[in-house]
Amino acid sequence: MSNPDTVASWKLPLPDGVHIIEFDHGTTSGKRVIRVDQKELMRKDWMFKLVGRETFQVGKTKCTISIEAVSGFAYEYTLEVNGKPLKKFKENQGKIQQSWHVVVDGEIKRICLEKDTLDVWMDGQKLETGGEFQSDGDGVETHFMINERMAGRIVATSSGKRSKGIIHTLFVNDDEIREATNE
């Protein structure tokens, strides 16, 4: 946060990538600025009310920043995503999407599976996929191309436990890729 008015920053993992949300709050002018991935989405320069809420969209996802006074001129900033606190939203995202980091031509790329639609994304781009049942009848494979030299496939198999559900494993050119953590 290089801007002195930037008071809060959050990472928002969505299927199309991890977005950085920054919030500037001028506590003398009431100025409010919201940036997503360094692009300014909203600016209000002179506001007499220093507390309140600002609602905006990241793609189709509704976000709200709440500004609350905690004491004197100290403020607390919270982010809600689709009506849930960010932490709860991230927990729910972990249930409906899974992501991996893959090195492609020397760069780290994020591959994300939306479990409900079986869409596969790479760095914000939805990939063309094809699905097929495994020959042993034990699961489904989703195939896609990462580039002209790298083929990906996500294998979905039953965990055998109802509470754990389906396990998704990414293979790139037959090498298993570990799931990304801390998004």
Domains and CATH numbers, the chain: 6-82 (2.40.128.180), 96-177 (2.40.128.180)
Share of the chain above pLDDT 70, in %: 92
Phi, psi of 153 (to 5 degrees): -150, 135
Residues 132, 154: Cα–Cα separation, whole Å: 11
136 pLDDT tier (thresholds 50, 70, 90): low
Give the 3-state DSSP-derived string for 90-136, with helices as H, strands as E and coil as C.
HHHHHHHEEEEEEEECCEEEEEEEECCCCEEEECCEECCCEEEECCC
pLDDT at res. 12: 93
Looking at residue 45, its pLDDT comes to 84
- Residue showing tokens 């034990």: 138
Q: What is the mean pLDDT of residues 4-18?
A: 87
On the question of pLDDT at 11 being above 90, the answer is yes
Asked if 63 and 80 touch (Cβ cutoff 8 Å), the reply is: yes
Checking if the pLDDT of 125 tops 70, the result is: yes
Task: Tell me which residue has tokens 């990472």.
Answer: 11
